[in-house]
Amino acid sequence: MVLTGVVTSLLCLFGLMGALTYLAFGPDIQPIVLLNLDAKSYVLQTVQLLYILAILLSVPITLFPAIRIMENGIFTSSQSGKGHARVKWLKNGFRTLLVATCTGISWFGAKDLDKFVAFVGCFASVPLCYIYPPLLHFKACAHTRKQKIIDVALVLFGAIVFCYTTEQTISLMLAADDGSPPKFGHCDKRP
């Protein structure tokens, strides 16, 4: 009941904010809402600076679980950085390499942010939403034939969605950009 209430509240909040933004800026709205505001405004520049700091300071928190999981796979449990200086520096080097790799990928994807986010969503969000839950249910809870068939069907559906969205995103990324507005999702009034 609490989860349903929270999700419903978030749905209403995000829907309301999207609708208000569209009503305020019309069909020429940019994907990043801060780009719709006056770039010379000190308030906007302050908000952008605070946004950059928030993202920059949240990266270690975001990367920590993934780094810990990868370190557990690379280094054995008996290899701790607390007692061994070599292991500590190997882990620090691994973390630095991972952050540098993420930075490089972000730098590459910054040119077309919407396509980059879609590409990341294909590999992260689609499996997380459509493939992993039925797989976990299949392994842990599916006892009847009907439950197993539904789980397999959901996994197949997720695989199809994954392949389709990945193909669409890659074709958009590889398409030549001739400067004309996109054919969908954006109403540009340029001649």
Whether this model's pTM surpasses 0.85: no
Task: Say which residues have a Cβ less than 8 Å from residue 102's Cβ, sequence separation at least 6.
Answer: 63
In the chain, what are the domain boundaries? 1-33, 111-176
Give the pLDDT band (50/70/90) at residue 81. low
Q: pLDDT at position 153, please?
A: 95
Distance CA 175, CA 169 (A): 10
Residue 141 or 186, more confident: 141
* pLDDT-wise least confident of 51-65, 95-109, 124-138, 165-179: 165-179
pLDDT tens-digit readout, 18-49: 888 788 878 777 777 777 778 888 988 898 89
Q: pLDDT at position 187, please?
A: 46
Q: Which two tokens stand for residue 25?
A: 């800026």
Q: Rg for the chain (alpha carbons), in Å?
A: 22
Q: How many percent of the chain have pLDDT more than 70?
A: 89
pLDDT tens-digit readout, 122-168: 888 889 888 999 999 999 988 999 999 999 999 999 999 999 999 98
* Mean pLDDT score, 168-178: 79
Distance CA 96, CA 89 (A): 10
Q: Closest by alpha carbon to 62, among 33, 102, 107?
A: 102
Mean pLDDT taken over the chain: 83
Task: Say which residues have a Cβ less than 8 Å from residue 79's Cβ, sequence separation at least 6.
Answer: 87
Residue 54 or 78, more confident: 54
Please answer whether residues 38 and 44 qualify as being in contact, where contact means their C-beta atoms are separated by less than 8 angstroms.
yes
Q: pLDDT at position 73, please?
A: 85
